Structures are given as C-alpha cells and as structure tokens.
C-alpha cells in the first residue's frame, strides 16, 4: 500500500464542492499535543476575496479545518 507524505501533496489544487479552484495547498496546521492535522493552509487564487469565504486567513493563507475535506487525491476536495 502506498503511503502519502506531506511533501507529495503540497501545492496540490484545492477545489470546492462544485469543483471550482479555490487555491493551492501550502501547508498544514498540526495540534502539537496529538500530532493530528487540524487544518490545511491554502494560498487563495487571485480574484477570490477571502472575506467572502467561511474560513479565517492568517499571513495570506486560508485556514480550512480538516472536517471540511471530503477527499485527498490528485486534488484536495472540500465539502463546500
């Protein structure tokens, strides 16, 4: 069984539930106590207003909770 490592999925496209491009995966936010990934950090595509999105931004990156991810494959798919 193939294992996916962090570097392999960085820069993958992140799409919303309609398949529209939101941006590209830049990094992860990890809970230091559990080691679990709690959010993905996304570089938002130009032309998208981050104020219109339901997730917070910090240092130019959108923080999307992992609960919003429905699939990670060639692209990262979100539930909304």
Q: 21-79, pLDDT tens digit by residue?
A: 999 999 999 999 999 999 999 999 999 999 999 999 999 999 999 999 999 999 999 99
Distance of CA 35 to the CA centre of its chain: 17
Domain count, the chain: 1
CATH classification of the domain holding 59: 2.30.30.240
- 5 pLDDT more than 70: no
Q: Which tokens go with 2?
A: 């193939």
* Domain annotation covers residue 72: yes
* Domain annotation covers residue 39: yes
Q: Which tokens go with 7?
A: 């570097």
Q: Which tokens go with 25?
A: 């995966």
Question: Which residue segment(s) compose the domain that 32 sits in?
Answer: 6-78
* Domain annotation covers residue 1: no
CA distance 15 to 23: 7
| pLDDT band of 9, cuts 50, 70, 90 | confident
Q: Which tokens go with 50?
A: 């981050």
Q: How far is CA 7 from CA 16, 18, 29, 55, in A?
A: 22, 26, 14, 24
What pLDDT, on the 0 to 100 scale, is given for residue 1? 47
């Amino acid at each position: 069984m193939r294992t996916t490592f962090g570097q392999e999925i960085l820069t993958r496209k992140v799409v919303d539930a309609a398949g529209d491009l939101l941006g590209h995966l830049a990094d992860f936010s990890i809970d230091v106590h559990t080691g679990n990934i709690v959010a993905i950090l996304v570089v938002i595509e130009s032309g998208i207003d981050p104020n219109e999105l339901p997730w917070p931004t910090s240092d130019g990156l959108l923080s999307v909770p992992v609960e919003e991810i429905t699939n990670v494959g060639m692209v990262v798919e979100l539930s909304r």
